[in-house]
Every structure is written in structure tokens, then in C-alpha cells.
Structure 1
Amino acid sequence: MGCLIGRVRTFATHPVVLVSVAALLFVTGFAVAVWVDHRESRSAAIESEATRLDLVASLTAHEIQSVAPWESPTPGQLRAVRLLPQTAAARGGAAYVSDHQGFIVASEPATSPRALSFGDVLGDASHRMTGAASGIMTATLRDGTPVLAATRDLASGQLLMVQPLSAVAAEAPFMRGSPAFVLLVSVGCLGLAAGCVGFARSARSAGRLCTRLTRRLDASLVQGRCGVFDWDVTNARVSWSASMYQLLGYQPRGEHLTPEEVAAILQPEEGCILAMVRAAAASPASRIDHEMKARTAAGQWLWLRIKAEVVRDLLDASQHIVGFAVDITEERGQAARRADVDLRLREAVETLSEAFVLYDAEDRLVLCNSKFRNLHGLPADLARPGTTRRDITAAMLPRVTEKPLAGQHLDLPGTRRVETQLPDGRWVQVNERRTRDGGIVSVETDVSALKRSEAKLRERERRLKGSVRQAETAAQHYAALAERSLEENQAKTEFLARMSHELRTPLNAILGFADMMRQEILGPLGCPRYAEYSHDIHASGHKLLEVIDGILQMSRIESGRITFSPQLTRIEVAIESALATMGPELVARDISVAVDVATPVLLQADRTALHDILVQLLRNSVRFTQVGGTVRICARTAGERLNLYVEDAGAGIDPEVLPRLGKPFGQTEAEYCRSGGGTGLGLAIAKGLAELHGGRIRIRSERGVGTIVLVHLPVTQPAANDRQVERGVEAHRHVLVAAE
């Protein structure tokens, strides 16, 4: 494009062109001047001839009146008029005389055409002249000859004299000293000079306009990542626009490039750019539309799309290939990414466990997986993109039955959810939905196994209903047995409570008297053996009292007759209270206790219950810890909960025994505790009291390593009273009083 605009600019400012234009203007001005001068000279000659003819007509009329004053003159008398030979014969004119009726009675020369009246001599069109010769008119004879005509009235009629205009024109002087010619030539020269100056200015303005247009066009091409080129095949040179140089990062190398330089930059995928140009030049009607790589000045590669056609220069008949190049590097990258995404999509669709098919807005196949083809027995050549949905449906296996299914989004247009059965007995669930571009996506699932499972489930349900009826009968029987067992268990609990109460009364007396004897309050016993016996009686009584207290507390927990009064308590205070209670046992076995409370914790708990939990866990740990050992107590907060850890390095517990720990009156706990003494109710009591707080106990132990007991308690007790109401016990109202 820049080359074409440069040619227009060169053409507009070339000296030969300017001279040619100036000469053309001069010749045109000279021709106009000649034509104007000739027109003015002819008009002046006609006016002079009209004046002369008017004078001759007046003199001739006077002469005729002298020869024949009252009658019409005869031809001889008319010839006798001395002016006629000079006016008529010498100049080719004629004179006619008519009578009063208008008929011509004489004419000169006699060879004039015969006419009866003046109307036979003159045509219909006649015009009277203005100016000095006001009695003269221009007319046309019957044979078409233009003439000047003069008429005069006579006593016997009229005189008509005619003079042809051709004779007048032949005698007119041609530019003989005409000032108009000089004026026109001068004006023509001045016009020629002014035209040359104006044309030069127009050429410069056109050049500046072409320059601005070239810059704007190059700027537009740079923004569009385009470039324009002109390959002169005849002269073997290539012209690039500024945008083409900027696109590839090169500096302009003169006005033209050689084809070899261009071939080193542009490299098609197949062949050579020079061979491509030669092939296009050999076929002028062909067009070039190729994508090729281009090496930039920085050594990188760009992808360009070249579109060009063959044109022929009208000035020098040279052959050119003119076109443009567009940077398509980004488009090719996007196409590669789209192809990669499409490949991944196809692989993902192929890995689906369901049959998948996608149609476009015109019901043509876009994509389907092998499971769809195998499900419907479609050949591979039919399941190709572009196949109509009608053809695919016609090739599919016929459907035995079809029923709609309920589901979400079924109110959307183009949404369909059905269940169909194929001739081979398989069941297929079809879910179709319309896409935003008007296509249809369908996912089909083989639900034959599900249908078989549903049939089996229905059969099992039928059998289960029969079993349920049998179970209901058995449940009623077992419920009666459970109710009876519950009543028996309740009776056992009440019996144990009463028995414990009854045992505590005489036991208190035994402990009291044994303590008096041991301390010899009333005097010496006499024999040292009695003091030893009284000490054994007191120790055995205390142990028996602990057993009775444990049984009594466990019975209260099971029956729900226990006071639960949560109060704000510091966990470190509760630990110190429990250690004070266990102090004698700790000293007797020389066992130390390590307390680890990271931060002071204030929790809402029943102080007595919390104290009993810690005492029961410490007692178990002390009993199974070797003499001189250590028991560890830790307290940690976990959100809104408190974790208490009691850890010992005792004998440990077998894994198969752990699930059965914490059951009241169980033999397993008794066996676990039997080596250290006790009834085995410690963990059961601690578990019951922890559950009363809404907590739980977990035990982790390893044989020969030790045991860790975790007590997980809530920090607050907002529903303590509600829980007591559910158990049928109002807080602070039912209190079991045991006499000491």
C-alpha cells in the first residue's frame, strides 16, 4: 500500500507530466481565443454587410421610383437601375419587385429561381436584426441558404433584396490585428502559469496527504499486527510496509528487499517461498493463502498468515504479487490449547462409567464414547461427528418399554429423564438436558444390576416382613422376660442397698469398740496380743466398710437416687482433696503423685461426685503400682471440655478384658482388681459419675507397661436439671440418707 501511494505521489510531481499538462492548457486556451476572435470578426462583417445592404436597398428603391413611379417596373427597367449589377450580380445577391397583390413582377438576375411571391423566396423563419441596420432581417431561402434580406415599400408594390451570408463570411477578416486575440493569448499564458502553480501546490498537498494516510495506515496495521508487501516478480524486488518491518522487528533496508532476503525470513511448512511465488506468477488467476513461520530480528519465530494475489502494473506491465501478512501466533497457540483441552475432554468422556453422547443445535453428533456405542450396538463408522441424530436413533436397538422418572430440573425445556428396557432385557436410565447453545447432552446408565437388586430386595422385603412378624412375637416374649429381669435386677439393687445399710449399723459399732480397745481408752488390755488383734479388727472393719460403701453408691447410681448438684469448682482444688483422702494409702505404699495442670480450670461439676471419680481412679492406680512407684495426674482443656488423665506404671490389662471394664458387679472387674484387693466397683462407680456429668471414660492399657484412664468432662452443665427430670428425679429433693 505504501508503494502504491508513493507511485501516486511521484506521478503527481514529475516534470514531464507538468509540462504536458501546461501545453495542453495552452493549446486549449489558444483554440478558445481563435474561436472567440473568429466569432467576433464574423459578427462585425455581417453587421457591416447588413448596413451596406440597407443603404443599397434604399438607393435602389429610389431609383425604381424614378424609373416607374406609379406602375410596377418591367424587367428591362429593373436592369436599367445602375446599382443592381454591383449589388446583385457581383455579390451573388438578388432583387425582387412585387405588385400590390404581392406577386413578383420582376427579378434580377433573371436566372433567379422562379417565384410567385416573397413567401416562395423566403422560408418561414426570419428574424429582424437590431442596431444600426434595423431594416435588415436574417432569413433562410427555400433551399436552406442563410441570407440577409432588406425590404422597401414602392408606389406600385414592394422591393426585396437578399444577400447570402456565405459571401459575407468569406470576406470577413480573420484575426487581422484583433485585440481579442492578444488579450486571449495573454490570459491563456497567465492561466497556464497560474494552473502550473496551482497544480504544483495541489501536488504538494496531495503528497502531504498521502504521507499522513501512509502513517495512519501503518499505525492501524501495527495495532492489528499486520503488514503489507509488494513482490515485484518482473524486477525481482520486494517492498515492505513500515508495519511489516515493525511486526518482525527489522529496520528498513533501503527501498526494496531481495527475494533471497525474504526467503531467509519467511519459511513455509512445506516447500520454499520462492517456489511458491514462481508458481503463483505462472498462474495469474491463482491466489496465495498460506500459514508460514517468520524469523524475527531477535531470533524468535512468529506464525504469519500470508494472503496475496497476482496483479499487473498498468504503467510498466510488470507482474506483482500484492498482499498482506497477519500475525497468528496467538491464534495458533489458542488452537493448540483448544485441541489439548478437546483431547482431554474426549479422554475424560471415554473414562466415564456411563454412556455419554452430545448433539449440537442441528441434531448432529458431536461426541460419544465407546460405552454408548457398545450399549446400543452402533458401528464405529456410523458414530462419527456430523451424523444426524435420526440416523443414529434408527440404528439403535429398539426399546421394549419406556417410562418417565421423577427428578429435579424436569421443568426446564429440553430436559428428559426416562427409564427404558432393551430387547435383551437390559434396563437403561436416560438423562437428557438441553445445552445453552441449543444442543442436547445425554447420559445413559445401565441399571440392569440395580433392577435385579431391586427385585432381590423386594423378595427379601417380603421374607423380612414374615421374619418381622415372627420377631414381633419373639420380641413380645423377650420383652416380658426383660421386664421380669429388670424387676429382678431392681429388687437385687434394692436388696443390696438395704443389706448394705443393715451391715453398716453393726459394723460401725464393731469399728468403734475396736478403736477403743486399740487405743486402750478404758485401760490396758493386759496382753500385747490383744492390742494386735484389736488393730486387725479395726483394719478389717474399715475394708468391709469400703466394700459396703461401694455397693451402696453403685446401687444409688443404678437406681438414679443420687444427688447431683453442679457447682463451680477448680480442678486443682478437687485434685488436692482427692490426694488428701488417699494420703494414708500413698504413705503406706511410698507412692508419689505427679500433678500436671497446665492452666487453672474452672468447671461446673458436682464436687462430691468429682471427688469420688478422682479417689476411685487413684485408688485403682495405687493398688496396682509397685511400692515406691509414681502415679501421674494431668488436666488439659479441649475446647468446651476437660480431659483428666490418671496414669500408672502397674501390671496393665489384657486387650480382651478392656471392653468389659466398667460394668457393675461384673466378674471381669473383680478379676482385674482381685490381685490388689477390692470389689472391682471402682471403675464402674467412676464411669457412672462421669456419665452423670455428661462425660465419658476411656481406658488405654498395655500388659506389663501400665494403664491410662481418660475422664472427658464438659466444662459447663446447662442441662443438668433436665437430665435429672428425664430420669424421674428432681434435683435436691430425693436424698438417700444412710446412718453411719
Structure 2
Amino acid sequence: MARAGAVEPSVAKQSTLSGIRLPKKAAISGHAKLLAHPAYEKLLAAEPLLRRLIPILIVIFLLIVGAARFVELYQHKAEREYDARETMGLIAAVLSSALDKAHPGETAADTDAIRATLSATLPSSATNNGRMIYVTDHDGLVVATAPRNAEFEGLPLVRILGETQPLTIFGVRAGVLEISLADGTPALATVHHLEGGAGDVAVIAPLASVYSSWRADVSLNVAIFMGTSAILLVILYGYFAQASRAVEADEIYSETQARSETALMRGRCGLWDWDLASGRMFWSRSMFEIIGLEPRDALIGFGEVSNLMHPDDGDLMALAESLYEAGEATVDQMFRMRHADGRWVWLRARAELVDRDTGGPHLIGIAVDVTEQMRLVERSKTADIRLRDAIETISEAFVLWDADNRLVMCNSKYQQLHGMPDSALAPGTPYADVIAAGRKPLVRAQVVVDGRPEEGARSFELQLEDGRWLQINERRTKDGGFVSIGTDITQLKRHEAKLIDGERRLMATIADLRQSRQKLEMQAQQMVELAEKYAEEKDRAEGANRAKSEFLANISHELRTPLNAIIGFSEVMQSGMFGPLGSAKYGEYCKDINQSGAYLLGVIDDILDMSRIEAGRMALTLEDLVLDDLVEESIRIVQAQADARNIKVVTDIGKNLRMRGDRKALKQIMLNLLSNAVKFTLEGEITVRARTTGTAVTFSVEDTGIGISSTSLAKLGRPFEQVSNQFTKSHQGSGLGLAITTSLTELHGGSIRIRSREGHGTIVSVRLPVDAGSHPRSTGA
């Protein structure tokens, strides 16, 4: 490479090659000349500019001509309009002057005279180009027209000119204006007023008539311009046709060259021609692309190419010398060249030595980029090594056989499990010899695969001498061989044995569960029978309860009649209405009879109330109440009894406590609570509180009496239940007061709460909704 690098691409310095004399001056034959005729070169350089410039010049010429004609035609149009305006103004002025002289101060009522004046005054050209002349009276009605048109006579002038024009107002001061007539026709118009307000003279010329001759000129100019443009375009087409033929010829050459370059680029090939005499090389554009260099048309020096080659792959000079020494004409060699980004590119050069015996020998051929193939070879080697490492490191025994049942490869796990020597595992050893060299299994069983087995596949299990189990899976390969993988399933076999034993135990458990289920079914049947018996007993108990309530109601009614007589006669005897009884003891007896009868009557009333409540026949009569007044009434009833026992009643009642409920029932609730508080308080005080909290009313009675033990609180509120202690034994009662209070509270949708400590007093709180009708409840039996 050092020698190659020292060689300069100079014809004078490189004049010999392996002792063969070469001409000092030699050209690369077969190549296009780098320089053409100077004039043709200038023409080629200027041709793109001309192809762009000529159409631009023609377009500019046409634009200038068109603009000039447009300006001229526009001026003609303005002149035509100016002449029309002047003519109209002159006609209107002459006609109005003639009418003023012929009919001074008249109202232009004489239509015939006006028409005669029009005929005498107006020349024949006054109504050319569609001009219309209208003469109106002092009311603005058309009385005469020129040329004569009876359709407009008698019409208001504003209907002809339109409502929005200013001509009829300003007259001659408005001049000649462009307006839209009543029917939408654009026109020029002027109006002159006659003297003394006798009428108006109006001259109208439609724009279409004013510009008719101008439009004819425009059409003629447009035709001339289009003809001129067509001629220039034909000339331009002829020029481009000739130029296109030349370009087409160049494109054919370029396309042919481009296709060759494309084919070379797609095939990653580079064309090169080495002039051995001059030491210079020609490279195709694809060759530059392979190396990553910028393509250029100049020849490449020998030293530049040598510097790109890898030092371990030889040099070009040695290659050329070897061809001459061996007398060969072809070259097929692989080498590396440095890419522009610094990496090495593998190339396979195929070339032929031509013109060996002439003065200009050339080595011509192609260089193919084989970098990807070399990388694939390296990757294949790496993949083969990785595959062997992977097979060796797997935990299963692996062995591969070819189509002739000869060993291809296996891992050490296979050798270890079957106890095979190294000599029996040489690649190419027949299957029978390998199997004979290993340990014989104790058990060999075919594994049945569910469904349709895979073609060319089988599985079986082996038990080795040391007690281990292997599952062998074999599959056919595409080349006719097969691969065998052995997996150690010793743990699976032991687990399988445990599962079988567990299954037996499970079956026994299932049998026990089946027996237990039968027992449960029998117990469920017994529970159904008990439930039916319970329902029957419940119906009987409810019937007995209803019979009891009806009996109590009936017996209570039977007892009220004699009791009323006893109470009444005792009061008569006690008052001595029919004379004294005699002994004082009789008075005491009468008092006892009266008190006992009243007590018994109260008990009977309580029994009747309780019976109605339990039977569900207690209906509330709801009305709007003031609770604080009701509480005050209840306190006044028990106040005498409290004073007799030296008990102070303290109230803490809010003002204007309103609610909706049954007055009698609420008063009974309060009286029962207050009576109990007075009855079971020896002395001290009773506190009555009443408050409204949102949608509820709370009424509570707190005493300092004997109190109730926690074990006896559960009995309160039940019918005929009384708390028995040393104090209550001296107080008679039915035990229904608190039960009735509880039932009435629940009928209102409320609740009752009792808090008490034995020897410290009791607090009974009743919570009722403000509107008992929105919270109805039933306490039926």
C-alpha cells in the first residue's frame, strides 16, 4: 500500500508496468469527449435561458399591444360618451328655448302645437342612436314625444326616469346623468325646465345605443389582436417543436445513461475503467454512491483510489502486475474500501483486461457492494455459536438427527441423562450405535395425545435406573430428520402420585358430604314441619288474643252499669240526701265505696281504651293544636294532687308550640305521665318541658321520685305490668297507663323514651311529629 500510495497519477512517472513499455501519452478510448465546440457549448449554455426568455418576450409584446389597444378603445368610449352627453344637452337646450319662445308662459296644454314645434325645431339626427325626447306639462305628465310613441303620452315623467333620480328636481343644474330607467335599462338622461313652470323637456339615450358603434370597433380590434396572437403562437410552437426535438435527443441519451446508472445503483454496482497507461480511473456515479463520495465527471487519480483501499487487502499495482505475470485477462477479487463516513465497505471486483497489446491497455469491470452478504455471513456464524450455546444451557436433553438417522448434535444434558461416552457422540454416528452406548430405561410408555396427533410427532415416557422419569418429545424437521427433547418430569410424576392419593381421599370426603347432605335434607324437612306448626300456633294465639280483647271489652261494658249505680248511691248516701245514716262509720264506708267504685271505673276505662288500641279500632281525630296551652291544662288538673303531697311543679315550656294531632289522646298522654310523676314522688319537684325541634315536638316529665331499676325498665309499657317495690305496694293501679301512653304515642308516629335511676328519679320523654297525619302508624293487635 505504501508503494501504491507513492505512485502519482502522472503519465511521465508511470511509463512501465512489469517491464512492459507503455506509451507516455494515452487516452481513455470509448469515452465521450470532455470538451465540445466552443460555439455549441455556448449555445447549450444559453438554450435554457432562450427557452424561458422567448415566451416571456412574446407575452410581453402581446401585453403591450393589448394594453395600447385597450387604452385607445377606452379613450374612444369616453369620447363617445362625451359626444352623447354634449349632444343631449344641446338638444334639450335648443328644444326648451324653442318651446319657451313659441309658447311663452303657457302650460304646454296645446299638444298639437308642441308637436309642431318639435318637428320644426329638431333636426333629423336628434333621435338617432335610440334617443327619446319627452315634453311634459306643469303636472309632470308627458304630452309629446319624439319620435312619436303614444304608449308614453299621459304617463308621469318620473315613471319613465325612475323615482330615485334627481333630474326632475334640479333640471339643467343636474346636467346629463347616467341612471337606470324604471324598467331597469341603463341610460343617459337630462331634464330642462321650461319657463314659468310650464313643463319639462327630457332627453334619454340608452347606453347600449350610445356605445353600439364603439362595441363594433372593440370587436374589430379584438379580432385583429387574436389573429396576431395566433400567428405569434404558431411561430412560438414551431420554435419549441424544433427545440423539443433537440431536447428529446439529449433526453434519450440522458435517459439511457440514467437507466444504466439506476440499474447500477439498485444493484449496488459500480462501473469503473482503469487506464493503466495514465494511472487514472473513470468511475460511474453509482461507484461514488457506494463509497459515499460526491459524484464528479473528472477522472480519479490512482493514488486517491489506493488511499481508499484497506491495507490488509493488497494494492491495485500488485493486482495489475499479477495479471501481466500470469497472462490472465480477468479479475475476480474481494477487498474493502473506506466509506466517506469512516466505515469499511466490502466490494467484489470483476474486471477484464482489454487492449493488452496496444498502447492503451484498460482494466474495465464492475465492483459489487457485498457488505450485507459479509455481514450476513458474520451474523450466521454468530447465530450458530449462540444457538449452540443456547442448546447447551437449556435444562432439557436435546439431540438432533439428520434424514439418515445420523447424529448431528446434542448437548451435555442428553449425554448425562443417558450415560453416554464422548466417543459415541461424534457427529455422523448412526442412531442405533448412539442408543446402544447409553443406559437402558426400566419403563417405556407411549403418551396418548388428546385429539389428532401432529404428523411426524410422538411422545413417550422413560424411567431411568436411578428412578428419574423423562418425557421424550420428537418432531420431524423439514429435511427429513427429527429433533428429540427430553424433559425431566420426576417431580411431576411424584406430584401425580400425590394427586391420585388426594383424589381417593376426595372421593371418600364426597361420600361423607353426600351422607351429610341427606341428613340436612331430613332436618330441613323437619324445620318445614315445625314452621307449619308454628304458623298454626301463631294463628291460634292471635285468635285467643282477639277473643281476650273482645271479652275484656264486653265485660267492661257489663261492669260499668252496676258501677255507675254503686258510685251514684254511695254519693247519695255520703251526702245524706234522704237523711242521716246514723253511725259515723256508715259515712266512712260510703266514702270507701265511692273511691273504690271510681277507681274500678277508671280501671275499666283503661281496659276499654287498651282493648280498642289492640283491636286497631282506635282512630285519631286530627286538628291543629297549641301544645303549650294543652300542657298548661294538664298541669292544672294534677296541680291539686301535687299540692296535697307538697310537690312543686316547675315548667319550661316554649311559646306557641303548634302541631297537628288528636287533642284527647295527647291530653291523656300528658295526664298519665304527670299522674305517674305525682304518684311516685314523695316530695320534691316535677319539671315539665316542651320544645319544638325542626319537624318534631318533644314533651318530657322529670321527677325526683323513687326511680326504677335498670332490670325493671324493660317491663314498663307492657299492659298490666307494674314495677313492684316497697313504695308501689301501697299504690293501686292496673298497670295500663304507661302502655296506653306508649300506644297513643306510636299512633301519632312518635316515640317514647324512659331514663331512670333507682332512688334518684325518672325522666319520660315523648317525641311527636309536628304533623301526625304525615306519619301514621298502627298498633293493631
TM-score w.r.t. the length of structure 2 is: 0.33
